[in-house]
Structure 1
């Protein structure tokens, strides 16, 4: 397909943006339902629209709509972070194996396909299926339409504030709403840049009739410019905190914390953008350091969380699924990193046994919590001292349909966030299942971005940042800046500590050339969008 020309007219996504500014002339008016101009006339409604833009970004990124279109769970399995044999989210379709020598895997293990092959015939990875008639196309659509929905709402909010001079309660509140709305723009452009090959850059003052395609790099740069604006607005001190509705019930952040979030996400945008190791080497790592050193692990460190209200209006489906032992498990690639003696990679049922990992996050694979939950749900032993804090081993080593490929099996599951499932799924180890604060970005992720920048620029200080989780949470010997394998120690923490908290695993594996052959590295513009615009696939 060619995306070099200007888009003729206003169509597809643009229709949604234009309709946000006026009424559809073909619709029958309902005097009891406010149209867009009347809706945007109310400061309270504009505030709600701004809150909705941020909520849409969160739910799009973390699958809170609960639909099978959500691609991040699929991408986690693509990156061999988690594993599942189900075809929900079209996981099974997109996550074949490599039955050949590749990246240390050999024909002795059937490549990455594992043993025994009698558990299902191997099949190769598949590219994103952008055929308009294919069911699998929906994984390409979810984030595209989600992020552009957030951008549409943000466009309307900023027009009312910046063009029309709307005041929401008072100047401080107005500036808070403006700042968080620009943050929603920055976050949306960032995710579009990380995931798609092209897109649109739409702002409050964009002339939609002359809109053209932008490359992924241009989307990235637009995101960085927006993050810089957020940092400037937040550090000006015009407001002191966010309203209650932007991050779930009861969650607010100070202006200082909003600036820290923007810094971390800017660092993340730069570091995770590369599609391969060559592009990764060309990243401006000094700029990554500049952002990350002012991010959420600097000063008073904090995790960026939302409040999941039992999946009523806020839901983190990334954790709801990935921390349910009956649904997804830890990929053998990561399990083998935690304990190479007992956890073979690829899967080998006969060679798998109870762990004895030096990393406290797995430990001996037992569960540290409730015995009934361990017995009835996890089918694991209980050990409150030496059990895993984040991962457990189950004696029910294989789960689900065992004919769908041995590489879809694992005996280790993630339980770090197992209080978040429970929204109609299965009983969980929580007194209030699903009604919890959910981290969507850990302070540790910022530490590791910062540390990687230091390593790749030859600066000192990376080991101390790595040790924040390596030693404190993992109980492992401290890393040192002089370690010859310091980068590998960093990448171990990226895999073990960050898994399930954010979509980082896919981007981290992509940029070091560790995705299996035939795994797609980015998404195309959805076919539905191209068809409406009159462009070929």
Structure 2
């Protein structure tokens, strides 16, 4: 990765140092790095839409690049032995700590989402400060576009805080009224999620009281009239509430009645930007599939825990001994998404390096991009499915199941991907709650593969299915801590932090397992 050092937030956020990592210079083109005073950022209404549009590019790139592969392997959704994007470090068995050090070759896994989300928040704050504090408006041919731009800025800030709350242990709360000359204190991830929901509520308020449309130049290829914007905010609020849970206790504490209401009023079609062939609107989902834009046949494979889910006769872990193979490597499953020309195809050869751990092995790879004309690999000109209608439906079904509306949950599942794409039998009308939840998570792991970044990892986390020693969230990047003169720390590691939640700075790595005497356990 080429390292582009762009100092922005020392000027706009006195306590932030942004070091953007990029394969190209597109982030540079959207970040205003010469802004000493927020009050001088936007003097004219015509500047508003450009700043917020640039902020959305920054938001998109902050979580849709390097995060896809490491979160997928850390959550045992995909498996890969390659060192790119921190995959080898973060998928080691037994689990090792995150190498939260400026010297880590893949430190962009931590820095990219942190710096990018706060860069996007900075853009949103510039726009909201101009409108709310300085009275800047944007009127064109008698039409006041200011409410639309305000809604877009609140959406940008809400989505950015939501991503920070999903990903990081803690962060900063900064809005257009924050005194940046004062030292900022960290707030926990729960507060970041609350900030996200508050901003999305402001979007809904503006959309309810005004009729407008966010043009498709803000989020590439996506036009958002007021009615659709409200649905999108409802769905994202539900996602943030549910997937920010760090364990089963927090999952049980979610207001599932509210999630049910939000999803019932959520998106009715897949949401996601249109790709621009790898210029600005692209992601690294192609690393996790057989795609000509990614690693091709060398791409990450379907983790054996997912293979076992599809076919319980398959082992949950590939035998780790020298020369180990599977007796019956091909699955036997009724799921129509498995097989030649479908979502997941069998490969007789395994192209990973055996000396890096045969526990990485799997015979199945994601091929939906090749076989489904509606599915993007992240680097083409198709819609990049970022929040699918099926995702919303499954959240709604889960909310119904957890509030004992079992018949409603069963109806949702039977109307969705389980039958429509999987070709599986309907859940029976007398299915018990746990059977319903099992069916929901089956679909979340299979149908949603390679859609929302981190989805499988977040789902494993909230139902206590992460391997012992897997980080429950990311630490504040070491480069940021050094700028703030804060103590360095990291998370994870089966010895140093089996729960994945206790800060420490022991980066010692355990030898990777070479046999089956240490089968991973979960928490």
TM-score category (smaller protein): 0.7 to 0.9
- Aligned runs of 1:279-298 on 2, under 5 Å? 279-296=250-267
Structure 2: state its 5+ residue gaps: 1-6, 16-31, 292-296, 320-324, 489-523
With over 3 angstroms needed to count, the CA separation of the structure-2 counterparts of 1:513 and 1:157, relative to structure 1, is: same
Aligned to 1:385: none
Match of 2:157 in 1: 185
1:181 shift after superposition:
1.3
Please say if residues 413 and 440 of structure 2, whose CA atoms lie closer than 8 Å, have aligned partners that are also in contact: yes
Alignment of 1:382-401 (within 5 A): 388=342, 390-396=343-349, 398-401=350-353
Secondary structure of 1:207 counterpart: coil
Question: Residue 147 of structure 2 contacts residue 210 of structure 2 at CA under 8 Å; is this kept in 1?
Answer: no
User: Aligned-pair distance for 1:270?
Assistant: 0.8
Is 2:441 the partner of 1:491?
Answer: yes
Hey, what does 1:406 align to over in structure 2? 358
1:354 and 2:330 matched = yes
Matched, 1:73 2:69: yes
Q: Would the aligned equivalents of 1:148 and 1:188 in 2 still touch at CA under 8 Å? A: yes
Q: CA deviation at 1:237?
A: 3.5
Whole-Å separation in 1 of the counterparts to 2:372 and 2:131: 37
Q: Deviations over 1:182-237 (max 9, x none)?
A: 01111111111111111111111122234322111111111111111111212223
Match of 2:275 in 1: 308
Distance 1:313 1:464, change over 3 A: same
1:252 alignment partner, SS class: strand
Query: 1:322: Cα distance to partner?
Result: 3.7
Q: How does 1:145-156 map to 2 (within 5 A)?
A: 145-156=115-126
- Deviation at 1:14? 5.0
**For the residues of structure 2 that align with 1:476 and 1:34, how far apart are their CA atoms?**
53
What's the counterpart of residue 192 of structure 2?
A: 219
2:418 aligns with 470
Q: 1:366 matched to which residue of 2?
A: 340
Aligned to 2:72, the other structure's residue is in SS state: helix
1:480-511 deviations in Å (ceiling 9; x for gaps): 45312111111101111111101210110001
Corresponding residue number in structure 1 for 2:133: 163
**1:121-520 to 2 correspondence within 5 Å?**
124-170=94-140, 171-210=143-182, 211-239=184-212, 241-248=213-220, 250-296=221-267, 301-319=268-286, 321-324=288-291, 325-341=297-313, 343-348=314-319, 349-362=325-338, 365-367=339-341, 388=342, 390-396=343-349, 398-418=350-370, 434-460=380-406, 461-467=408-414, 468-480=416-428, 482-484=430-432, 485-502=435-452, 503-520=454-471
Relative distance call for 1:166 and 1:435 in structure 2 (3 A) is same
* CA apart distance, 1:91: 0.7
> Structure 1 residues 258 and 47, CA, compared in 2 at 3 Å: closer, same or farther?
same
1:425-471 C-alpha deviation (Å, 9 max, x unpaired): xxxx9999722111111011111111111111112411122221111
Per-residue displacement from partner, 1:353-392 (whole Å, max 9, x unpaired)?
3334211111xx212xxxxxxxxxxxxxxxxxxxx2x111
Please give the alpha-carbon distance, in whole angstroms, between the structure 2 residues aligned to 1:134 and 1:315.
24
Aligned to 1:88: 84
2:475 alignment partner, one of 524, 527, 530: 524
Q: Write the distance in 2 (CA, Å) between the matches of 1:407 and 1:142.
A: 29
The alignment partner of 1:246 has SS state of strand
Deviation, 1:172, is 4.4
8 Å contact from structure 2 (residues 244, 458) kept in 1: yes
Classify 1:351/1:169 alpha carbon distance in 2 versus 1 (closer, same or farther; 3 Å). farther
Note closer, same or farther for the CA distance 1:403–1:519 as it changes in structure 2 (3 Å cut): same
Offset at residue 164 of structure 1 (A): 2.1
Contact 1:14 1:208 in 2 (8 A): no
Please give the alpha-carbon distance, in whole angstroms, between the structure 1 residues aligned to 2:144 and 2:398: 37
User: Counterparts of 1:357 and 1:209 in 2: how far apart (Å)?
Assistant: 60
After superposition, the C-alpha distances for 1:99-125 in whole angstroms (9 at most, x for unaligned) are xxxxxxxxxxxxxxxxxxxxxxxxx21
Deviation at 1:137, TM superposition (A): 3.6
TM norm structure 1: 0.77
Shift of 1:302: 0.4
Alignment-derived partner of residue 61 in structure 2: 59
Of stretches 304-313 and 527-536 in structure 1, the one that deviates more from structure 2 is 527-536
* Number of aligned residues: 444
Tell me, in whole angstroms, the C-alpha distance in 2 between the residues paired with 1:163 and 1:320: 44
CA distance in 1, matches of 2:247, 2:302: 24
SS for the counterpart of 1:471 is helix
